[in-house]
Structure 1
């Protein structure tokens, strides 16, 4: 499908519904809100503020919701007061999303909205995001996933339509290494450091990671700070807020695009064309197989950690370790279309 066809499919999913949208003001939720404004009966944007978001997070959500002409509610809860969250264990993302979506669901229900929507896109399913399991557990609708809309599709559409969105919507807790305690001191100095560097670079896409008292700076464009005076100024400011060491990551803040499928030469002439991918998490075969039955004929072995799905004459094999192999497909586009149907049905190990 081309982008126009994907957008039409997303609109069809949203059409004539009363929906509440989990709204961060970022690219994904802004696209969903824009489409919902066009085709849904009634729309409510709900923003959850956990008190550890970037500066201007709330003002940006209000600004964007006003530009869209949509009703907007804000929920405030300080996650720094939640011990299980500040412990920053492997399940932090899952716990965070659980608390957020429980509150959003409560407000939506009180306001008479039965359908809750978020901006998860199909590319998100290729990343290690355990919080997405909350969507499945709470019947959260993700129209961008169901329409096969990727991250690049979202940005292309918003830029083409000149729709304003916020580029800084990720929780600052993501800057702290898993297992290291999250506290107000760390969050505040991360926020200060990012704001200071943004003021120099005039770029909203800045991340400062707190790694054992070292500030690791990540920028899409490092040129604005690559002179001795600017680097010394940044070092002075960040050491003033008790970072012991300052480093610069010369990579980009946004990772390279992850392909949904990758071509793999196939020695088996009967299968001819084969594509594969490897998800960065383990798959729960027992919970995945019942979902696959909605798509086609399934053979599963939890003992071997394998699920085999025949769908539209194609064969997809999913392994417990996260590997996915598509066989008997026509070409890359055909394999991608099949995987777009399969990915939302996969349940990961938490």
Structure 2
């Protein structure tokens, strides 16, 4: 069994960031990347924060990034990524994330000369993440991984940095992750997913829920506590699907990686 690193997580991360004269942090709007940007700023690293918008990015994530950037005085660049112009992405193969990150990091590299940093953490190495291959090809750095920092430790850092509710945000991958492998990525589908998940969150208060676009129709996955409200969820979703002309396949327990066919489990 390997020994725990001798230094506390914050000191390990400060040591990693000390190598960089400046950074461009790719910020999605989730706890990991927002914490990385906040920590880098706190430790005096000149910082450009870059947030990409697309139909796959929830509007709430973009609003969160803009709010925090204004509150903390970040240099913020909001850009599109162009992944919807890439048929390799739209076709939604099992390695779709590779093409998404390829477009993202190429766009960022065209906007800044600073090293690009992601918020990937140690837990991410246990998943099938083809986006990390695209990152490696473009020399993107992952300070949390280099500092051996887990998701739980990222949340602890977020609390220490005073990020409030950001520290408790549930895992929220991009909206395209709700679409089963082989179903083409479509902006209307993603808009439906975003609206449905907002309505479901208000109804159930669930920490983890997903509205899935599957070959059998729209399905909803709920965490264990929210499954007690399955009948109310089914009633809401049946109405939303009928209005949108979609088939509803029912609710079921949340299963990580449910939409990816032909690959190891992924965080979706």
Aligned position for 1:142: 142
Find the aligned partners of 1:104 and 1:234 in 2 and give their Cα distance: 38
In the superposition, the TM-score normalised over structure 1's length comes to 0.65
Q: CA deviation at 1:218?
A: 2.2
**Change over 3 Å in CA distance of 1:39–1:254 after alignment to 2:** farther
Say what the alpha-carbon RMSD is for the aligned residues: 2.8
| Runs of 5+ unmatched residues, structure 2 | none
**2 CA distance for matches of 1:220 and 1:142?**
30
How do residues 288-299 of structure 1 correspond to structure 2 at under 5 angstroms? none
Inter-partner Cα distance in structure 1 for 2:225 and 2:14: 39
| 1:183 partnered with 2:150 | no
2-side partners of 1:64 and 1:160: how far apart? 16
Structure 2 length as normaliser, TM-score?
A: 0.83
Structure 2 residue aligned with 1:337: none
Q: 57, 69, 75: which one pairs with 2:73?
A: 69
Q: CA deviation at 1:251?
A: 3.4
Going from structure 1 to structure 2, the CA distance change for 1:103 and 1:76 (only over 3 Å counts) comes to same
Q: Deviations over 1:49-98 (max 9, x none)?
A: 13221232211111122233311111114533332211111331111101
Quick one: structure 1 residues 227 and 123, their matched pair in 2 at CA, closer, same or farther if it must change by over 3 Å?
closer
Q: Which has the higher helix share?
A: 2
Larger radius of gyration: 1
Q: Which residue does the alignment assign to 1:117?
A: 117
Higher strand share: 1
Match of 1:237 among 236, 240, 255: 240
Unaligned 5+ runs, structure 1: 256-278, 282-350
Aligned residues: 254
Mapped partners of 1:94, 1:224: distance in 2: 33
**Map of 1:88 onto structure 2:** 92
In 2, the alpha carbon distance for the partners of 1:3 and 1:250 equals 39
Higher relative contact order (CA closer than 8 Å, sequence separation 6+):
2
**What is the CA deviation profile of residues 4-37 of structure 1, one whole-angstrom value per residue up to 9, with x for unaligned ones?**
6222111122126211101112111112112101
